[in-house]
């Protein structure tokens, strides 16, 4: 389900979406604003998704079981 190809496929999807946003942006005086806004939105969403995905896939802190009591020090 979750593998390394997810990051690559997501990147390809974002690049294709950005190219479409660049080519098919509405004509007019705000064309540059539309292009920049859509491409920035696609890139920001991808970066946020990729960071969240990788943080769950390879966590920095290893989860520990909370139902195990720590060893008691003998007195």
Residue-wise pLDDT tens digits, 19-63? 999 999 889 999 999 999 999 999 999 999 999 988 888 777 776
What pLDDT, on the 0 to 100 scale, is given for residue 22?
Answer: 93
The pTM score is 0.73
What is the Cα–Cα distance from 52 to 74, expressed in whole angstroms? Answer: 43
31 Cβ contact list (under 8 Å, min separation 6): 25
Q: What is the DSSP string of 27-50?
A: PSTTHHHHHHHHHHHHHHHHHHHH
Both tokens of 9, joined, read 């496929």
Question: In the chain, what are the domain boundaries?
Answer: 5-57
Say which range, 5-9, 19-23, 64-68, has the weakest mean pLDDT.
Answer: 64-68
Both tokens of 56, joined, read 């769950």
Cα-to-chain-centroid distance, residue 75:
51
């Amino acid at each position: 389900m979750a593998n390394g190809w997810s990051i690559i496929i997501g990147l390809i999807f974002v690049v294709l979406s950005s190219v479409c946003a660049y080519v098919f942006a509405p004509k007019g005086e705000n064309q540059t604003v539309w292009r920049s806004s859509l491409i920035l939105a696609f890139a920001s969403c991808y970066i946020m998704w990729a960071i969240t995905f990788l943080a769950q896939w390879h966590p920095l802190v290893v989860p520990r079981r909370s139902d195990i009591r720590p060893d008691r020090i003998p007195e």
